[in-house]
Structure 1
Amino acid sequence: MEWWEAPGVEGREAFDEEIVYLNSLAESLSPPRWAILVRDLMPRWGFEPCSHRFFHGLEQVMAMIGAGRPGPRFGGCGDVPLEIHLALQDLGEEFLAWAEGKEARKVGNWLGPISPAKGEAVRALGEALCAFGHGWVATDAVLESWSEKAKYPLTKSLLDGEEAPLPRLLRHACCYNVLVNVERVARALGKEKTPEVFVCGEALRELPTLAPERLAQLAVILEALPRWLRSRPAKDGVHAHIYALLGPHDKVREWLVASLYKTLKLWQRHLDGLLGKTRRLPSLI
């Protein structure tokens, strides 16, 4: 991982004293290959707190540090868990049932009474959601087909262009709020309005409302890592679990934990900027 792959670091000129310290530490240590590989799996653009499994991936990285070997890591861009695939498939089938005039209690509450324009748009939505699990070739084929045959402006507004609501939603199905976005789309279609979806930075701005537990979990990890680095006793059982993941102290693990702490500090600073907050976190130096 290069530091400019992290939020708030645009290039070498943006390196602060902590990054300079970590780089000099790496040069003096000459870390083994496993440690370099683990460092390259740490949070960066492409492994972000908006991902469904960001915290699963973060726990995997901490476990890799403790085990002294790299491994698979969840939570990257494009990582859509099975439970989300199941939910999208179920919703897609419900949308199609509603468009055919069948009972679809959940989505029916979002969509209201059927109309020709709504029926067409909802069929496009349902088919796209059902195609999603088959991969991007199948999904794009459905989107392109509907773009060509759509009769109503409502359907066209849902589909036309890469930044149209439905392609954008599906392209960012790895985002923790994808099911909320599906509901937003449905409720807007129910009013025959062009939907909005919120992804990436917009999704991060919604964390306090939609997933405050994610912010709390990040805060706990940011508190535990510097305590581990300073060999302070675990504050509680959660900290003890994190300590157990990180393993025993040695120079290589200390460099990795310090690097992980710095990447998370950069993400916390990015989040604070989005949320209009400021905070001070312990320095590495």
Structure 2
Amino acid sequence: MKVSDRRIAEWWEAPGIEARDAFDEEILYLNALTEEIALPRWAILVRDRMPRWGFEPCAHRFLEGLEQVLAMIGAGRVWARFGGCGDVPLSVQRKLDAFGAALVQWSDNGGRAAGDPLVRRLGAHTADRAEAARAMGEVILGIGRGPAEVDAVLERWAERAQFSPARILVDGEEAPLAVIAHHPCAYTLLWNVERLAHCIGNGEPPSAVVCVPALRIAPKLDPERIAILREIGDSLADWLQERTPRTVIGQKVHALIGPRDEVRHWLVASLYKTLKLWQVHLDNVLGEKHDYLSLI
């Protein structure tokens, strides 16, 4: 199956790859294989679902999505994948809705919501805190209703906010609530909400952490996220070198990938390369250094 140049370029939309002239020798090698191997359509579609911008390690379900890609390689077919932009797990959405409802209820006069762990972070009920809490609650509830709804809520609050705490939360694209609303897929979503409530209650400058900055704090906030990513990468390297898996996760990775053939070898090498790009990026973000398998 012939693969268009445009599609090949789109595969590598990842850290360190800004244009075709940024392709390194490993990418050129993997791209060249697309013309040498009789690639079935399912393989092309699986390759399209591998990590790149829009399917990133900061997403709630990045690891679940990555496991799905491994399973697709083994099954020889493709299906919907978790972990993309805007993907919010039902469990997270449920907590988010509860947070939003509690904030709106507390903003009225405290009431029964005063005992909620989140709103306790807001401190004493005052007019400025109440306004900020209502803005926060309405934006959070809007996230579950889709981008158009949440943008309308943000715009409405940007126009009507009277006190400084609420204005800071909603004014501009980089305002904390705007950042959260436009990146609900970040694993830091609920942590950001709790953090903003704390900032309101303590009069601290509010901010939200998503995307690359969220990866910077992952070793403390969600250490397993990075550890499992690296272990999957190591397991793929072992598979490519026909080595016995060294860990239980490695055994599962190899089992998911399935039998060896040239199509799966190309897919596994491509997946390893995408994870390698992300891991090198993480090394730069975290100030670490790791050794990686060369594909050529």
- Of residues 144-153 and 245-254 in structure 1, the stretch that sits farther from structure 2 once superposed is 144-153
Which residue of the partner structure matches residue 128 of structure 1? 139
Gapped regions of structure 1 (runs ≥ 5)? none
SS in 2 for 1:5: coil
Q: 1:143 maps to what in 2?
A: 154
Equivalent residue number for residue 92 of structure 1:
100
2:79 is the counterpart of 1:71: yes
Q: CA RMSD in A?
A: 1.4
Q: Find the counterpart in structure 1 of residue 15 from structure 2.
A: 7
State how 1:143-222 maps to structure 2 within 5 Å: 143-222=154-233
Could you tell me which residue of structure 1 aligns to residue 110 of structure 2?
Answer: 101
Give the stretch that moved more between structures: 105-114 or 181-190.
105-114
Distance between the aligned counterparts of 2:213 and 2:14, measured in 1?
Answer: 18
Structure 2 CA distance, aligned partners of 1:148 and 1:164?
A: 14
By how many angstroms is 1:143 displaced? Answer: 2.0
Q: Per-residue CA shift, 1:111-144, capped at 9, x if unaligned?
A: 1111111111111111221222122222222222
Does the 8 Å contact 1:154/1:193 carry over to 2? no
- Aligned partner of 2:273 among 250, 262, 267: 262
Does residue 1:18 correspond to 2:26, yes or no? Answer: yes
1:226 equivalent in alignment to 2:244: no
- Look up the equivalent residue of 2:240 and give its one-letter code: L
Deviation at 1:86, TM superposition (A): 0.5
TM-score (norm. length: structure 2)? 0.92
Aligned to 1:110: 121
- Structure 2: which 5+ residue stretches go unaligned? 1-7
- Residues 189-239 of structure 1 show CA distances to partners (whole Å, capped at 9, x for unaligned) of 112343111111111111111011011101111111011122222223321
Work out the CA distance in 2 between the residues paired with 1:144 and 1:17. Answer: 47
Counterpart residue number, 1:49: 57
Instruction: Look up the match of 1:245.
Output: 256
Moved more, 246-255 or 220-229: 220-229
Q: Name the SS of the counterpart of 1:124 in structure 2.
A: helix
Q: What is the TM-score normalised by the length of structure 1?
A: 0.96
Shift of 1:248: 0.3
Which amino acid in 2 is paired with 1:110? Answer: R
Tell me, yes or no, if the aligned pair for 1:63 and 1:246 is still in contact at 8 Å: yes
CA offset digits 1:72-99 (Å, max 9, x no partner): 1110111111111111101111112222
Further displaced range: 161-170 or 99-108: 99-108
Q: What corresponds to 1:274 in structure 2?
A: 285
Q: After the TM superposition, which of the residue ranges 108-117 and 97-106 deviates more from structure 2?
A: 97-106
Partner of 1:37: 45
Q: Matched residues in 1 for 2:143 and 2:35: separation?
A: 45
Contact 1:31 1:252 in 2 (8 A): yes
The one-letter code of the counterpart of 2:63 is F
Q: Percent identity?
A: 52
